[in-house]
Structure 1
Amino acid sequence: MDWIELTVQTSNEACESVSNILNELGANGVVIEDPADLIREKRDRFGELYELDPSKYPVEGVNIKAYFLNNTIWPEKEQKIKQQINKLESYNIPLGKNKLVTKIVQEEDWENEWKKYFKPAKITERFTIVPSWETYEKSSPDELIISIDPGMAFGTGTHPTTILSLKALEEVLRPNDLVIDVGVGSGILSIASVLLGAKHVYGYDLDEVAVKSTQINRDKNQLENNITVEQNDLLKGVHKKANIVVSNILADIILRLIDGAWDNLLEEGYFITSGIIEAKQQMVIDALENKGFHIIKINQFENWISIVAQK
């Protein structure tokens, strides 16, 4: 399906009014490129810093981008957009350059554009994450390769919380361990556990998209017989006797998981938690110790904390 990408170069004062015009005429939301953003520190919702490309921003004013179906009524709609934007001057709203630029884009371009930026990454001494569409040769016999297509599920493996979880698994997992992965995401920790020697992994996630993504990635890594993944709310109704429970989720959810982890662990089993911000570290430690866990190790990467506790 072809779409029209419309870019309106206008002033900061006209930004809100122009955005409203575009939305009222059928745009499903707008993207605003404001050069002021270039001087602000950017963090995504999970804490990762990212950089903006200055070449995509106007020298003055703002760019407002919107997308419309490329159909027979587009020429008429484009004229309406121009007329309504020009009319703003009668309300003493300066329009700046007031330039409209259009180009045709294909829907599949949006679906695949992000793949350009997901490349093989060595994230620990042993693990390398490789996009499923990339060809990659091991650099050493000991290197462990996880092939991943994250799809719509969170997790390309490069986030600090995932790296902390992988390093903890490298330290405590022993051959033939049974592992439970709570909040599987795209399946990275489940796959890693098998590659480290786990005899079987049971993965759970409340999000059906994450479950499907993990199943796909499990199969890409030819581990259909080693990983069982199901949709479930944490460990409610689960009764296993595992050597390790690993969970890379938020601190507040970890608190709800502690009882289930305890009940599903063997004596001396390990509970690996990650996704904990510094401000909530002590809260999680206190809850683990109150349950009876012994804190074995606390690791930190940037502002993220991982805790290894033992039953």
Structure 2
Amino acid sequence: MQWTAIVVETTSEVVEAVSYLLTEAGANGIQVEDAADYAQLKPGKYGPYGEIVDPESLKHRQSGAAITGYFPPNQFGPELIDEIKTRVAKLNEFGLNPGSFKVTFAPVDETDWATEWQKYYHPVRVTHELTIVPQWETYQAHDSEKIIFMDPGMAFGTGTHPTTQLMLQALEISLRGGERMIDVGTGSGILSIAAKLLGAGDVRAYDIDQIAVDSARRNIELNPQAQGITFGVNSLLDGIHTQVDLIVANILAEIIVPLVPQAFENLTPGGKFLTSGIISDKFELCRDTMIKQGFKIDQTLRMKDWYGIIAHKPAEDED
């Protein structure tokens, strides 16, 4: 069966946003080639935050990023190209710079793209404790490493993008053990799996996309230590009224803003709200929205142009 690959060549800054746009337009698979990911690789076979491959041996882009969306025959039409061009151009309105982007397309056999992206995905140690390993590779854990095996398939969250790494760092900082947690926009399920490995208790994960939920469930099967996560299809926290100790969301800033009051409602006093996916131009918007809602900002994390925020809902006896 012949599919269509739509490729958006643009800046590293808009990788997450363009990936989201392509998925929303009907793409059943996303492949990202980002020069910024290569720039973060560090030599050293088993050193802290080092790779188990030689970065110099990897073919990579020299600048910018190319995001490829794979569309089945019933999802693609010539008018889709104009729609994607228009939506990428409008990212400027949200403080994201797509640069002099280019959108192209070409037919491709389904069997060709199904495994093509795997060559860009290698084991990477993303925090002091967490190392992410593709399920098709063998890796021996060392010292205190906790291994997350991933087959990201058609969902986001391989651990290589700064937004995911910031959230994993925030989880490692914040978790003490036994917390009840909600993962909003779970994608590949990587944050829920990491939370379980770091000692979280009851974990519920939601995504608006059934493909993402199915992918996350498959990744749970690769990580027996993370069993027991509950998944569901849901838009943010719409219709959810509960009390948990921790809410995490690695999503775009524009989506974090309407999530803020929902997170505040669903957190216990003292509960923590961890967010990432915040481009630098949107950091103040997200921070100020949280403060206005009543959150206290505990810590901000930054990697290049991306921010993460660790906040908490004040305890009842807290000033």
CA deviation after TM superposition for structure 1 residue 268, in Å: 0.5
Conserved 8 A contact 1:199-1:226: no
Report Cα offsets for 1:175-208 as digits up to 9, x if no partner.
1111110000100000000000011210011011
Aligned equivalents of 2:5 and 2:188: distance in 1?
A: 28
Q: Which residue of 2 aligns with 1:45?
A: 15
Kindly indicate whether residue 193 of structure 2 is the aligned counterpart of residue 188 of structure 1. Answer: no
Aligned equivalents of 2:207 and 2:12: distance in 1?
A: 29
Q: Evaluate the alpha carbon distance shift between residue 31 and residue 284 of structure 1 in structure 2; reply closer, same or farther with a 3 A threshold.
A: closer
CA deviation after TM superposition for structure 1 residue 44, in Å: 5.8
- Aligned residue-pair number: 230
Q: Evaluate the alpha carbon distance shift between residue 151 and residue 41 of structure 1 in structure 2; reply closer, same or farther with a 3 A threshold.
A: closer
Secondary structure (helix, strand or coil) at the match of 2:224 reads coil
Q: Which residue of 2 aligns with 1:237?
A: 239
Aligned equivalents of 1:221 and 1:255: distance in 2?
A: 32
Secondary structure (helix, strand or coil) at the match of 1:46 reads helix
Output the TM-score relative to the length of structure 1. 0.68
Q: Which residue of 1 aligns with 2:222?
A: 220
Aligned equivalents of 1:303 and 1:53: distance in 2?
A: 18
Aligned equivalents of 1:127 and 1:152: distance in 2?
A: 22
Q: Which residue of 1 aligns with 2:126?
A: 123
Equivalent of residue 160 in structure 1, options 149, 159, 162:
162
Aligned amino acid, residue 52 of structure 1: R
Conserved 8 A contact 2:221-2:227: no
Aligned equivalents of 1:30 and 1:225: distance in 2?
A: 36
Aligned equivalents of 1:295 and 1:182: distance in 2?
A: 19
Conserved 8 A contact 2:184-2:236: yes
Aligned equivalents of 1:52 and 1:159: distance in 2?
A: 15
Greater C-alpha Rg? 1
**1:44-83 alignment to 2 at 5 Å?**
45-46=15-16, 48-49=34-35, 51-52=60-61
Conserved 8 A contact 1:251-1:284: yes
Report Cα offsets for 1:252-310 as digits up to 9, x if no partner.
10011011111111100100010001111111111101110001011100100001111
Q: Which residue of 2 aligns with 1:173?
A: 175
Secondary structure (helix, strand or coil) at the match of 1:165 reads helix
Q: Which residue of 1 aligns with 2:147?
A: 145
Conserved 8 A contact 1:43-1:49: no
Q: Evaluate the alpha carbon distance shift between residue 238 and residue 41 of structure 1 in structure 2; reply closer, same or farther with a 3 A threshold.
A: closer
Secondary structure (helix, strand or coil) at the match of 2:15 reads coil
Conserved 8 A contact 1:235-1:257: yes
More displaced stretch, 216-225 vs 266-275:
216-225
Secondary structure (helix, strand or coil) at the match of 2:35 reads coil
Q: Which residue of 2 aligns with 1:206?
A: 208
Conserved 8 A contact 2:35-2:61: no
Aligned amino acid, residue 196 of structure 1: L
Report Cα offsets for 1:136-191 as digits up to 9, x if no partner.
11021x10100100111011111101111011111111111111100001000000
Q: Evaluate the alpha carbon distance shift between residue 204 and residue 52 of structure 1 in structure 2; reply closer, same or farther with a 3 A threshold.
A: same
Q: Share of identical aligned residues, percent?
A: 45
Conserved 8 A contact 1:175-1:197: yes
Aligned equivalents of 1:107 and 1:203: distance in 2?
A: 29
Q: Which residue of 1 aligns with 2:43?
A: none
Aligned equivalents of 1:53 and 1:168: distance in 2?
A: 30
CA deviation after TM superposition for structure 1 residue 53, in Å: 7.6
CA deviation after TM superposition for structure 1 residue 224, in Å: 6.6
CA deviation after TM superposition for structure 1 residue 52, in Å: 3.2
Aligned equivalents of 1:261 and 1:223: distance in 2?
A: 27
Secondary structure (helix, strand or coil) at the match of 1:45 reads helix
Conserved 8 A contact 1:119-1:130: yes
Aligned amino acid, residue 108 of structure 1: T
Q: Which runs of 5+ in 1 are unaligned?
A: 4-26, 55-104
CA deviation after TM superposition for structure 1 residue 240, in Å: 2.2
CA deviation after TM superposition for structure 1 residue 125, in Å: 1.1
Conserved 8 A contact 2:196-2:226: no
Aligned equivalents of 2:179 and 2:12: distance in 1?
A: 41
Q: Evaluate the alpha carbon distance shift between residue 107 and residue 300 of structure 1 in structure 2; reply closer, same or farther with a 3 A threshold.
A: same
Q: Evaluate the alpha carbon distance shift between residue 266 and residue 112 of structure 1 in structure 2; reply closer, same or farther with a 3 A threshold.
A: same
